[in-house]
């Protein structure tokens, strides 16, 4: 599938900022399932961008801009060719072994209830079946609600009955780890017909002998060619598209506009 992404992130500040430093995790990498045909990040003010990779292998760009800055818009445009390998993730940069992704973080403390729930769902299963079963279980347990900016941690979300897609993914990550299955949060894009889009989050979990498998608790199934993988992290915090620091007073307002669509046949 040929997917086109247009992702605009606009920050407006109630008072001009003296300086902005932001870390952008907005650049996908080639894998066996996706080939980045073209990708650009444009900023509407005088800014310097420095590309690098973080410790987990994600592409990142540091953005440095001097003030006064009343507003800044980061425009990402890109085109990616995707394939479908049944959710098997191959060809990714892996600086750390799967075991690292058993680590608990503040946001992925599962708590007893979530641990028991996932433990029950995977009981008696082996390998990738455990991952699929846990994904279906989380999918079935929650009513999905639309994207909200504020995000609850895994245990808090589990205590309720509704969850956003990102919260479901974070819960699944936490739950899989309690079952000693390495799991990580993936941030990226997902194409959906006729729907307004928001940055999406799903999960990669590791099955011995099979490798990393990408699943999406929002759908209850495996990830396919409608997904573009951008960054992985231990939790949602690790894949934040724009993580920044600003020097200046006042409030900030954030607008995000995102279009992910299939390219028309040429």
Binding residues for other proteins (CB under 8 A): 19, 21-23, 48, 50, 52-56, 62, 64, 66, 95-97, 99-100, 102-104, 234, 237, 243-245
Q: With respect to other proteins, which residue has the nearer C-beta, 50 or 265?
A: 50
Q: Minimum CB separation from other proteins for residue 54, in Å?
A: 7
Q: Minimum CB separation from other proteins for residue 113, in Å?
A: 18
Q: Minimum CB separation from other proteins for residue 145, in Å?
A: 25
The Cα diameter of the chain in Å comes to: 60
Q: With respect to other proteins, which residue has the nearer C-beta, 57 or 221?
A: 57
- Dist. CA 153–CA 170, nearest whole Å: 8
Q: Minimum CB separation from other proteins for residue 62, in Å?
A: 5
Q: With respect to other proteins, which residue has the nearer C-beta, 97 or 194?
A: 97
- Dist. CA 197–CA 204, nearest whole Å: 21
Q: With respect to other proteins, which residue has the nearer C-beta, 139 or 246?
A: 246
DSSP states along the chain: -EEEEEEEEEEEEEEEEEEEEEEE-------SSEEEEEEEEEESSSEEEEEEE-TTS-EEEEEEEEEEEEEEEEEEEEEEEE--STTEE-S---SS-GGGGG---GGG--HHHHHHHHHHHHTT--THHHHHHHHHHHHHHSEE----SS---HHHHHTSSEE-HHHHHHHHHHHHHHTT--EEEEEEEE--TT-----EEEEEEEETTTEEEEEETTTTEE--TTEEEEEEESSGGGG-SEEEEEESSS-EEEEEEEEEEEPPP-
Q: Minimum CB separation from other proteins for residue 127, in Å?
A: 21
Q: Minimum CB separation from other proteins for residue 67, in Å?
A: 12
Q: With respect to other proteins, which residue has the nearer C-beta, 20 or 169?
A: 20
Q: With respect to other proteins, which residue has the nearer C-beta, 87 or 241?
A: 241
Q: Minimum CB separation from other proteins for residue 214, in Å?
A: 20
Q: How many CB atoms lie within 10 A of CB 50?
A: 9
Q: With respect to other proteins, which residue has the nearer C-beta, 108 or 191?
A: 108
């Amino acid at each position: 599938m040929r997917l086109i992404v247009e992702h605009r992130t606009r920050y407006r500040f109630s008072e001009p900022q003296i300086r902005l430093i932001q870390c952008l995790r907005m650049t996908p990498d080639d894998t066996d399932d996706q080939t980045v045909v073209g990708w650009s990040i444009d900023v509407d003010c005088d800014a310097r961008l420095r590309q690098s990779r973080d410790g987990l292998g994600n592409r990142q760009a540091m953005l440095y801009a001097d003030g006064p800055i009343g507003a800044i818009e980061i425009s990402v445009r890109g085109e990616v060719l995707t394939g479908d390998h049944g959710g098997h993730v191959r060809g990714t940069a892996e600086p750390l072994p799967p075991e690292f992704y058993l680590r608990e973080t503040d946001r992925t403390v599962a708590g007893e209830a979530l641990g028991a729930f996932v433990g029950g769902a995977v009981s008696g299963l082996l390998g990738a079946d455990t991952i699929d079963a846990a994904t279906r279980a989380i999918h079935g347990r929650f009513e999905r609600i639309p994207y909200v900016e504020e995000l609850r941690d895994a245990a808090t979300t589990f205590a309720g009955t509704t969850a956003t897609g990102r919260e479901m993914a974070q819960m699944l990550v936490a739950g899989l780890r309690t079952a000693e299955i390495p799991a990580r949060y993936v941030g990226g894009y997902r194409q959906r017909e006729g729907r307004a889009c928001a940055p999406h989050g799903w999960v990669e979990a590791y099955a011995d002998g099979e490798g990393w498998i990408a699943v999406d608790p929002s759908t209850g199934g495996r990830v396919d060619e409608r997904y573009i993988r951008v960054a992985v992290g231990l939790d949602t915090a690790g894949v934040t598209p724009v993580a920044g620091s600003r020097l200046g007073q006042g409030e900030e307002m954030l607008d995000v506009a995102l279009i992910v669509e299939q390219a028309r046949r040429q």
